[in-house]
């Protein structure tokens, strides 16, 4: 690595033998991060989803665009399912709400009773559509 590629940067210093920045005794919020600092936060949970729209194969015909806009990204639209009972079978939502969802009183929620790949009573949330890469989905 040459310092020539970093001309104009005043604070460039090569350091060796750095300590593990993620091995901390203090929480990341104390001391507060400066406006130009950040930290990596990853959080993942396997969640059942329903495929709403697969990747659009017609975009392959469009070709490359100018300006760096990447149209073909193999993304699909999914709706997440959230369980309404916990691990031991206790309800997370009031029974009245569950019954109203079952009767389709809320257009953004669909009730999925347990069975098949759904292991607990769940609600499909159509108000939280998300884009997911198709290779991150597991067909069940």
134: its two tokens: 């198709």
First and final CA of the chain: distance in angstroms?
A: 48
State how far the alpha carbon of 31 is from the alpha carbons of 1, 100, 121, in Å.
32, 46, 42
Tens digits of pLDDT across the chain (140 residues)? 444 555 555 666 666 666 766 676 666 555 566 666 666 566 667 888 999 998 888 877 776 766 777 766 788 899 999 999 988 889 999 999 999 999 999 999 999 988 888 888 999 999 999 888 888 888 87
In whole angstroms, what is the distance from residue 120 CA to residue 123 CA? Answer: 10
**Domain spans in the chain, listed from the N-terminal domain onward:** 49-136
């Amino acid at each position: 690595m040459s310092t020539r590629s970093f001309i104009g940067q005043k604070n460039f210093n090569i350091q060796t033998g750095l300590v593990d920045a993620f091995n901390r005794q203090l929480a990341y919020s104390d001391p507060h991060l400066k406006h130009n600092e950040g930290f990596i936060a990853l959080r993942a949970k396997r969640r059942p989803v329903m495929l709403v729209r697969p990747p659009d194969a017609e975009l392959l015909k469009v070709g490359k665009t100018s300006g760096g806009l990447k149209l073909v990204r193999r993304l699909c639209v999914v709706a997440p399912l959230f369980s309404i009972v916990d691990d031991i079978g206790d309800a997370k939502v009031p029974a009245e709400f569950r019954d109203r969802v079952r009767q389709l009183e809320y257009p953004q929620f669909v009730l999925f009773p347990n069975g098949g790949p759904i292991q607990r009573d769940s609600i499909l949330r159509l108000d939280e559509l998300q884009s997911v890469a198709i290779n991150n989905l597991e067909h069940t």
